Structure 1
Amino acid sequence: MDGTKGDRFRVVISGAGVAGLTLASALEKAGVDYVLLERRDEVAPQIGASIGIFPCSARILDQLGAWKDVKKLCEPLQVFYSRNGKGQLVATPDRSPRLMQARTGYGSAWGERQNLLKGILGSIKDRSRILVNKKVVDVKHDADGVTVICDDGSSYRADLLVGADGAYSKTRQKMWELAESEKPEIVRSDKDRMTAEHNCIFGIAKGVDSPKIKAGDVNTTYDIGRCALTIIADNGTVYWFGQERLGRTHRVGDMPRYTDDDARAFIARNGDIVIVPGTGGLTLADLWAKTVTFRLVPIEEAKFNLWHWGRIACAGDSVHKATPNLGLGGNSAIETAAALVNAINRLADAQNTTGRRPTVAEIDAAMAQYQRERVVRAMGVVDASARLTRLQNMRGLGAKLFVKFVRPRLTEFLPETLSNTMVGAAKLDFLPLPKTSLTGTMPFNPTMNDGVGGSKLHRMLFALPLLALVFIAGSVMDATPVGHLAAAVRDGGVIPSIRDHVPILRSFYHIPSFDDFLALVNTFFYPSMFGTDPAARRQMISFITDGAVLQTIWHFESARRASLLTPMQLPNFFSLLGQVLGLGVVAPVYCFLHYLLTPVELFSALDRRLTNTRVSYASLPAVLLAYLLPFYALCFWPNLVGRQCWLFLWQLYPVWLALVRWGVSKVCLKETMDMDKIQRPLKDLNVMKGYVGGVSVLAAGVWWWAVLGGMQQAGGLAAVLTSVWNTFVPHGLPSWSVGSFERFASEFLRWDQVFAFGSHLAWLAYLFWDMRKVGMLGEGMLKTVILGAVLVPLVGPGATLGIGWLFREHILATRRHKDALTLESVR
């Protein structure tokens, strides 16, 4: 028997795969005694498999000193192509590997599994601890240690046994046997957890010659009941996968076992899958003709509940088995190995400190902590891989709709699927972090494990006050009681209170019913537009000028990368609803949805803050031309009938704004997003400051024009406050003024401003609260709220909104989450 050496904590590792070799290399660097037992006669055999290496595991390999060698032996990924069964593109080519490298410091690569094993093996200095031809046949467990018995009669004694021996783990089987009396329900459940609903043939083809492929290309073919994936390497080497759905769900004891003839039959059925279409293209059958090594297997899926018992723990595929579609199975195994070594190292350190070997209970507690630290992310990988497998096999109506309608619009489907998985990765706590890992635009962050922004339900409940404002505003601003008065004004023929008997314009667009509706809405603006109520006129001009700040912000938010496929991409839709229902009713809806859908964690990648400059740079010109210009014309045009024409025109400003923004973006600006997100994630920041800052200065100037215009006496704070009160503060509910349409209209617009900008200022408070929670608001929440409260009477709500939004933008651009691992935080 090979006993423990002296008083050192000792580990026996079963299995020299990806997880096992990672454990060995990390334990060596931690100074923990171990022995690794491999049942094969060599450590890194060629079994025809390939593997992807992503930033989450590249950082761990870099800590071990293996990444440089592994990277040399793998092909860096460049462009992802998504195709249908005929080879036609279903989305624009995706250059996300370059984005992932900018975000994390590490690129993504693909190569032979054998080369990854060789790279990790090369980081191990003492190879004498790695023993081959050691098949584990039995495990003896007692209070003082664990004994591992091999088929050659040798045995190895240790403090802990780690099973890194794959999906059909012998170690896990022995752990179940030992644990069954204590945890029968968990063991019984785990025994039935591994299933297979698809099979997969994977191979390596050599000498593939096609003008339509180049090194670094990744082609994914989505098809009904089947799919394919190819990774192109140098010198005509192609790593390829073909997959099909099985007729039923298989379980342990019923898993299919395939022969070479079965593989040939698979190609006979699926060789027509198009990898690259057209002359010089490729099909799966073409790759088969050049294949030098292959294997057909069922692809198991499993999420086991029992990761440890007593002095036994499992890692890698033996506790979490994912399908290969996401390419994260091996990466997840490396992460789990790192987390397990962290726990083992803490046990070893405790033994060195106390001089006492850990008890079974202490080891079990350490292994429980290891499982807690890894289970969420590991199971998340299994679930995400399962979803992607079913999407790529177009299983069900939802998957078919996704491929046809959603996937074409998700230009960066893979990096956004993988990003949190990458940056929330485990690391080796006892080894220095490589500088490369600290310089990305999306820093590694160990707290990014539970999904972006936490629970949507919690956010929704927290933001209910914003939603409540919708109903309050709708009740307060209900214009139904004065509908007959508005109709009477419209149908009266002339503007009331105007001596010159200015005729009311009833037709503009020459669509009778539409013109009648707009003419009815126009009546609410008459007191302000024609100056029959001077205070209401000043309030309206300031309100709509403030609206230019709001519109510019909405349009920047619509062009933001983080707003992709959210309602925030539809600012003109919200504006159009605001014209019909009142901006004060619609604005809280916008604010609620924005807060719900864009948590601050979504901006952990600096490029997610970035806007598409082709769109955002056109925002202010569009607001000025389509929103402010017609508004100022309707207020100051010398001809009073002409003012009504401008009012008809302005009522549809969301339509004109959309058209102008589209025209300016198409004619005057170029699409640069592909490079901006990688090399210039702050490109738009100065333009944001100029646009929002400029229109905020205009809003502040008009605010003071309105305040000074309402002063009854010269100077004095009291006179200023009185003017603010008389001009901007509602003097009662609009319903209190039902007897006077002019008074109702004035109060309506005041409440419209209160709800529109009150909800947006509350929205800013929510956003700052989000940033405070993650340590990005160094100024403190109380100071920020007090500053906002001071600014509102000082520069007006519009300018306050602009200043607050720009401050938030500055924080998003320059500060990182409190747990982000950057050069500054690590120092």
Structure 2
Amino acid sequence: MAGTKGDGFRVVISGAGVAGLTLASALEKAGVDYVLLERRDEVAPQIGASIGIFPCSARILDQLGAWKELKKLCEPLQVFYSRDGKGQLVATPDRSPRLMQARTGYGSAWGERQNLLKGILGSIKDRSRIHVNKKVVDVKHDFDGVTVICDDGSSYQADLLVGADGAYSRTRQKMWELAEPEKPEIVRADRDRMTAEHNCIFGIAKGVDSPKIKAGDVNTTYDVGRCALTIVADKGTVYWFSQERLGRKHRVGDMPRYTDDDARAFVERNGDIVIVPGTGGLTLAELWAKTVTFRLVPIEEAKFRLWHWGRIVCAGDSVHKATPNLGLGGNSAIETAATLANAIKRLADAQNATGRRPTLAEIDAEMAQYQRERVVRAMGVVDASARLTRLQNMRGLSAKLFVKFVRPRLTEFLPETLSNTMVGAAKLDFLPLPEASLTGTMPFNPTMNDGVGGSKLHRMLIALPLLVLAFVASSVMDATPVGRLAAAVRDGGVIPAIRDRVPILRHFYHIPSFDDFLALVNTFFYPSIFGTDPDARRQMISFITDGTVLQLIWHFESARRASLLTPIQLPNFFSLLGQVVGIGVVSPVYCFLYYLFTPVEKFAAIDRRLTNTRVSYASLPAVLLAYLLPFYAVCFWPNLVGRQCWLFLWQLYPVWLALARWGISKVFLQETMDTDKIQRPLKDLNAMKVYVGGASLLAAGLWWWVILGGMSQAGGLGAVVASVWNTFVPRGLPSGSAGSLEKFASEFLRWDQVFALGSHLLWLAYLFWDMRKAGMLREGLLKTVILGAILVPLVGPGATLGVGWLVREQILATRRHKDALTLESVARLHGGYF
């Protein structure tokens, strides 16, 4: 017998691939007895494969002491290029690998798989535990232990057997045999779970001489039914992959097997794929001519449900097999090995503390915990890789539409997808965290998983009161009952209640039906703008000034990186809709959608709260020119006919605002996002304070101007309360039965303000609640809400909204999630850096 159990907890690892070597290195550093069995005659063979190393695994390799040497052997990624089958760019070249470095403290690199294996092997001090030419042929399992039998007759006893032996795992097969009597349905399903719908040829080319490629370039070619990926390294080395969609779905027992001749035929069929176009460019056929090692294989995909049974557990490809398109298969195996090492360390520590071996039930509990900790992230990688595979092979209409229309506008599609898989990465709990991993702008956080904040259905249910508010607002602010009164005023030809006969302006844009509609809407504003109802006039001026704060917030949020591809990117659409049905009806809907699509977890990276300054810096001048100043002209222009002209203009302010923001941004401002997100993620913070803070001061000033203007001569607190009551508080529901358009309009606009600003103040409460759950609001939610309630009567709802939004912005910019691993949090939780 080649190996027997000693006094300590002992592990047999089958397979010296990425997962097996990582686990071996981790167990050595944990002080756990183990033996590693490899069926090949060497541990790190050259099989023509390359592999990407991303921050999620780089941190673990750094903990093991392997990263420093490994990164010297890998090519750091620099620029992502996305192309169609003819080599033409389908999106702007993406230089965001630098962003990944800034976010996590680790860059993204690519190199030969053999070098990764050698690097991990180099972190293992005692090589006597590693045995080659050890093909596992049988496993004996009982209550007291497990015995692994190899084809040379040797056997090894242990407390636990780990199958890290790949997609066609012999260990997993034996586990199924033992588990099937107890879990027949799961085992039967798992036996049929691995499929292949694509093949892939991967190779390494040397001496590639093309002036159009340089070290660090990553070129991805999207094409119908096929794709290609190349990573350029130093000295003309190119790591490359190319895929085809197979004619049907293959399963275990029916997987295609390929020869070198099959690989040559593959290239003959697909050699016309253009990697880089034009003179001096590169095709797949030209790359093949420089290829020194290659292999054609089916691309298996699998998400197995049974990860462990008794004293047998699996890791890496033997439980989660992903396509190579996302480049995370090996990285996921490293994470799984780290998580398993943590579980084994807990078992070993328990044995050392109690002096007895863990029971079968205790081992089963720890292995179940290991699976729970890893299954969501591991399966997420399989799913994300599968989606990317089908996108790159342009499978189906949705994929074709994505590549043609969405991908060009999503310049950081792959990096953002990768970043979301980085933030919740596993680590070795028993080894120190490298300082590099604690200093990034997107700190690792084990509770975030794929970077999103819970299910959208859950958030939808929480925010349902906002939709209820929108429904109530639409009922209260129904202007249909006074349509005939408004039409009568419009068609009467002169403005009522004005001493001089001021004609009603009916023609402005010279589009008869459109002018008639706007003239009808204008009648609702006559009591306010012409002063026939002084309270309504003061209320309207304050309301529109408060709206400046709201507009600026909407435009800042629309330019935010976290708002990409959400409805929040369309502030002028919401404003235009608000002009039609009332901003008080639209505001709760906007707030609902924002809460639904923007959980606080979206700001895990500091740069995600950053706005595109070319757009956001244009927001204040655009809002002033297109929204606020035209309305002040509506109210204060000396000529009453002129006021009507300004009102016609102001009614379309969302259109003029969109044009003004676009024009100012294009003529006066430059695009700096590529450097801002990496070097200046807080660049826009001061502008936010000046813009929104200034608008809030103006809103507070108008609030008190209105209050003082409505006070009686007696003065005092009672007069202040009376002024607020008379000016801002609705007397009742706007009703067409009142017989007065003036009364209806004044009540309508008061309710408009209540719903518009009230919904945004409720929205702020939701956002602060999110931050409290994330541990970022250290002042307490109740205290914050009480302070907001005090501010509303003191400075008005608009200023309160601005101040609250700025406070939230400051928190997003300076505080991280309670579980984020930073230098500050590690010092706080562990009494210093460790």
TM-score range, shorter chain: over 0.9
| Contact map agreement 2:424 2:450 (CA 8 A) in 1 | no
1:682 partnered with 2:682 = yes
Q: Quote the offset at 1:480 in angstroms.
A: 0.7
Separation in 2, partners of 1:444, 1:539? 49
| Contact map agreement 2:5 2:158 (CA 8 A) in 1 | no
Separation in 1, partners of 2:600, 2:738? 44
Map 1:438-477; keep pairs closer than 5 Å: 438-449=438-449, 452-477=452-477
- What amino acid is aligned across from residue 465 of structure 1 in structure 2? P
Q: Quote the offset at 1:743 in angstroms.
A: 0.8
Partner of 1:428: 428
| Contact map agreement 2:52 2:110 (CA 8 A) in 1 | yes
Separation in 1, partners of 2:768, 2:353? 45
Structure 1 residue ranges, 4+ long, deviating more than 2 angstroms after superposition: 2-6
Map 1:603-682; keep pairs closer than 5 Å: 603-682=603-682
- For the residue of structure 2 that corresponds to 1:300, the secondary structure is strand
Partner of 1:236: 236
- For the residue of structure 2 that corresponds to 1:734, the secondary structure is coil
Map 1:654-803; keep pairs closer than 5 Å: 654-735=654-735, 738-803=738-803
Structure 1 stretch displaced more, 177-186 or 437-446: 177-186
Partner of 2:169: 169
Separation in 1, partners of 2:605, 2:444? 10
Q: Quote the offset at 1:457 in angstroms.
A: 0.5
- What amino acid is aligned across from residue 48 of structure 1 in structure 2? G
- For the residue of structure 2 that corresponds to 1:325, the secondary structure is coil
Q: Cα deviations across residues 424-479 of structure 1 (Å, max 9, x unaligned)?
A: 01100000100000001110000112651111001111111101111111111111
- For the residue of structure 1 that corresponds to 2:627, the secondary structure is helix
Map 1:69-468; keep pairs closer than 5 Å: 69-449=69-449, 452-468=452-468
Separation in 2, partners of 1:253, 1:744? 76
Separation in 2, partners of 1:181, 1:578? 64
Q: Quote the offset at 1:423 in angstroms.
A: 1.1
| Contact map agreement 1:737 1:743 (CA 8 A) in 2 | no
Q: Quote the offset at 1:786 in angstroms.
A: 0.7
Q: Quote the offset at 1:713 in angstroms.
A: 2.9
Separation in 2, partners of 1:61, 1:682? 31
| Contact map agreement 1:737 1:744 (CA 8 A) in 2 | no
Separation in 2, partners of 1:164, 1:436? 29
Separation in 1, partners of 2:24, 2:738? 82
| Contact map agreement 2:343 2:370 (CA 8 A) in 1 | yes
Separation in 2, partners of 1:263, 1:569? 47
TM-score (normalised: structure 2): 0.99
Separation in 2, partners of 1:747, 1:409? 44
Q: Quote the offset at 1:5 in angstroms.
A: 5.2
Partner of 1:600: 600
- What amino acid is aligned across from residue 498 of structure 1 in structure 2? I
Q: Quote the offset at 1:2 in angstroms.
A: 3.4
Partner of 1:539: 539
- What amino acid is aligned across from residue 629 of structure 1 in structure 2? L
- For the residue of structure 1 that corresponds to 2:703, the secondary structure is helix
Q: Cα deviations across residues 740-797 of structure 1 (Å, max 9, x unaligned)?
A: 1111111111010000001111111111111111111111111111111111111011
| Contact map agreement 1:482 1:738 (CA 8 A) in 2 | no
Q: Quote the offset at 1:359 in angstroms.
A: 1.3
Map 1:41-60; keep pairs closer than 5 Å: 41-60=41-60
| Contact map agreement 1:96 1:414 (CA 8 A) in 2 | no
Unaligned runs of 5+ in 1: none
Q: Quote the offset at 1:416 in angstroms.
A: 1.4
Separation in 2, partners of 1:797, 1:113? 60
Q: Quote the offset at 1:737 in angstroms.
A: 5.8
- What amino acid is aligned across from residue 760 of structure 2 in structure 1? H
Q: Quote the offset at 1:117 in angstroms.
A: 0.4
Q: Cα deviations across residues 16-54 of structure 1 (Å, max 9, x unaligned)?
A: 000010011000000000010111111111000000000
Separation in 1, partners of 2:715, 2:691? 32
Q: Quote the offset at 1:714 in angstroms.
A: 3.7
Structure 1 stretch displaced more, 185-194 or 347-356: 185-194
| Contact map agreement 1:222 1:228 (CA 8 A) in 2 | yes
- What amino acid is aligned across from residue 296 of structure 2 in structure 1? L
Separation in 2, partners of 1:584, 1:58? 50
- What amino acid is aligned across from residue 411 of structure 1 in structure 2? T
Separation in 2, partners of 1:273, 1:738? 74
Separation in 2, partners of 1:511, 1:656? 18
Q: Cα deviations across residues 275-325 of structure 1 (Å, max 9, x unaligned)?
A: 000111101001100000000000100111111111111100000000000
- For the residue of structure 2 that corresponds to 1:257, the secondary structure is coil
Partner of 1:585: 585
Separation in 1, partners of 2:35, 2:656? 73
- What amino acid is aligned across from residue 492 of structure 1 in structure 2? G
Partner of 1:10: 10
Separation in 2, partners of 1:642, 1:184? 83
Partner of 1:493: 493
- What amino acid is aligned across from residue 633 of structure 1 in structure 2? A
- What amino acid is aligned across from residue 477 of structure 2 in structure 1? M
Separation in 1, partners of 2:491, 2:6? 102
- What amino acid is aligned across from residue 670 of structure 2 in structure 1? K
How many residues are aligned here?
827
| Contact map agreement 1:627 1:653 (CA 8 A) in 2 | yes
| Contact map agreement 1:36 1:131 (CA 8 A) in 2 | yes
1:826 partnered with 2:830 = no
- What amino acid is aligned across from residue 579 of structure 1 in structure 2? Q
Separation in 2, partners of 1:407, 1:113? 30
- What amino acid is aligned across from residue 93 of structure 1 in structure 2? P
Q: Quote the offset at 1:736 in angstroms.
A: 6.5
Q: Quote the offset at 1:685 in angstroms.
A: 0.2
TM-score (normalised: structure 1): 0.99
- What amino acid is aligned across from residue 62 of structure 1 in structure 2? D
Partner of 2:831: none
- For the residue of structure 2 that corresponds to 1:44, the secondary structure is coil
Cα RMSD between the aligned structures? 0.8
Partner of 1:62: 62
Structure 1 stretch displaced more, 83-92 or 414-423: 414-423
Q: Quote the offset at 1:420 in angstroms.
A: 2.2
| Contact map agreement 1:559 1:569 (CA 8 A) in 2 | yes
Separation in 1, partners of 2:736, 2:794? 30
Separation in 2, partners of 1:40, 1:741? 89
| Contact map agreement 1:527 1:537 (CA 8 A) in 2 | yes
Partner of 1:31: 31
- For the residue of structure 1 that corresponds to 2:325, the secondary structure is helix
Q: Cα deviations across residues 364-405 of structure 1 (Å, max 9, x unaligned)?
A: 111111001001110110111111101100111111111111
| Contact map agreement 2:423 2:450 (CA 8 A) in 1 | no
Q: Cα deviations across residues 686-728 of structure 1 (Å, max 9, x unaligned)?
A: 0000000001000000010000000013431111111000000
- What amino acid is aligned across from residue 117 of structure 2 in structure 1? L
| Contact map agreement 1:4 1:10 (CA 8 A) in 2 | no
Separation in 2, partners of 1:695, 1:186? 62
Separation in 2, partners of 1:200, 1:711? 79
| Contact map agreement 2:424 2:451 (CA 8 A) in 1 | no
Partner of 1:529: 529
- For the residue of structure 2 that corresponds to 1:784, the secondary structure is helix
Separation in 2, partners of 1:337, 1:502? 82
